[in-house]
Amino acid sequence: MRDDSARRIRFYPVVVIVLLLAFLAAGTASNLERNPQPGLVAEGIPGQKVPSATSAHLPSQYQGMVRQALADLDALTLPGGATLAGWDGPWRFVWPRDASFVAAARCSVGQYAEASSVFSFLNRVRPASGRWAARYAVDGSVPVDGREPQLDGSGWVLWASWFCSSGLDLSVYWPMLQESGDQIVASLGRDGLPAVSPDYWERPESSVTLGTVAPLLTGLRAGLAIAAQLGHEVPSWQGALDRLSAATDRVFGPDYPRTPGGGLDAIVTVLGPPFGPPRVEVADAIDHTRNVLTQPNGGVTPGESWRADGVAWTPQTTLFALSSAARGDRATAESLLSWLDSHRTRTGAIPEKVNRDLQPAGEAPLGWTSALVILTAAALDKPLPIPAA
């Protein structure tokens, strides 16, 4: 009798590989079925015409995309300063986070009057105590939609106000800024970290996230600079900054993931320029995170624990572009901006997402991405201000 054992042994690895490939293919198909390919909600704002943006000092690069982004922000900003996150349905609200970025973007191109309108709306709806609401209706009311207040708003409002301080009288907004700074201080526990809060992922959280921590760090730095400029003494803010900074490095460093010991998150970009002073370990974490989160379509997903669907989100992609520009990495910043420029809708609007087929998807335009594009283009022309340590 012939002994076929050697032949069987040789075929075992082939069989194992085939089975593994079949398993992976089935898993991929199942994942794609659970996460269907998203499409566009709208091509852009109906009936919109792109103005010349003569009131803005346009950056030298990407002027077409920046002009369109400014036009979209014009359309998304209603009388009274309510700046919509997007034109349609669930986006037709004002998030303090998005509005803060819009104000900063306006100031980066010299549109201080437009920025003042945004701050005026935020000042009218500011919480006298407690956290900022997740979002506000255009009349200033808080929608009853189950969304918890979000602590990161306190940091973003402080940062954007300081960013615009060269062209605005911030004394008008001091009560709002003081309340935001005090709320950050009140939120810190004995470990130096803030209370658990939802962040830009817009979902309930069970542990503190970098999406809350990073904006609060830049907010406290900015708040201290504003207080000094206006002649106010807020010693509790400096103590809170020292405690929060030390706790962030101790608990989140050196990779600075979304949660302690968790997956990476695009919000790591907010730990470095233009939101915070340059640090080698933070720059390494930002670059490593971008490499991990980059999708096959060329854009970036919000985080490792986000949906594994191959879809890129433009706000997070542009956060990495802004970070690169602010840190002097022009090649990466220009590459990401060019990617965004090539995936605009037919009307020129920058969409919320780019799907697996490289098609624009989600809401278009998205105010947060439009603001980030303007800031990034401005950063390629000249350094943006950075809150001191």
CATH code for the domain in which residue 215 is found: 1.50.10.10
Going by C-alpha positions, the residue among 28, 57, 20, 18 that lies closest to residue 308 is: 28
Give the C-alpha separation, 343 to 330, whole Å. Answer: 20
Q: What angle do CA 236, 237, 240 make, to 5 degrees?
A: 85
User: What gap in Å lies between CA 363 and CA 87, rounded to an integer?
Assistant: 8
Q: Is the pLDDT of residue 194 over 90?
A: yes
The answer to whether 360 and 38 have CB atoms below 8 angstroms apart is no
Enter the tokens of residue 254.
């050196």
Residue 105 is assigned to a structural domain of this protein:
yes
Say what the pLDDT of residue 332 is: 98
Whole-angstrom distance, CA of residue 109 vs CA of residue 378: 7
Hey, which residues does 300 pair with through a beta bridge? Answer: 294
- Which residues, 6 or more positions from 166, have their beta carbon under 8 angstroms from its beta carbon? 107
Does some domain include residue 19?
no
Task: Tell me if 20 is assigned to some domain.
Answer: no
In a domain, 3, yes or no: no
For residue 111, tell me if it sits in a domain: yes
User: How many domains is the chain built from?
Assistant: 1
Tokens of 379: 């950063």
Mean of the per-residue pLDDT values of the chain: 91
- Give the residue numbers spanning the domain of 189: 35-381
Side-chain half-sphere CA neighbours of 187 within 13 A: 30
Within-domain flag for 300: yes
Please check whether residue 386 lies inside any domain of the structure: no
Report pLDDT digits (tens) over 134-187.
Answer: 999 999 999 999 899 999 999 999 999 999 999 999 999 999 999 999 999 999
Which three-class secondary structure state does DSSP give residue 353? Answer: strand
**pTM of this structure:** 0.91
Q: What pLDDT does 54 receive?
A: 62
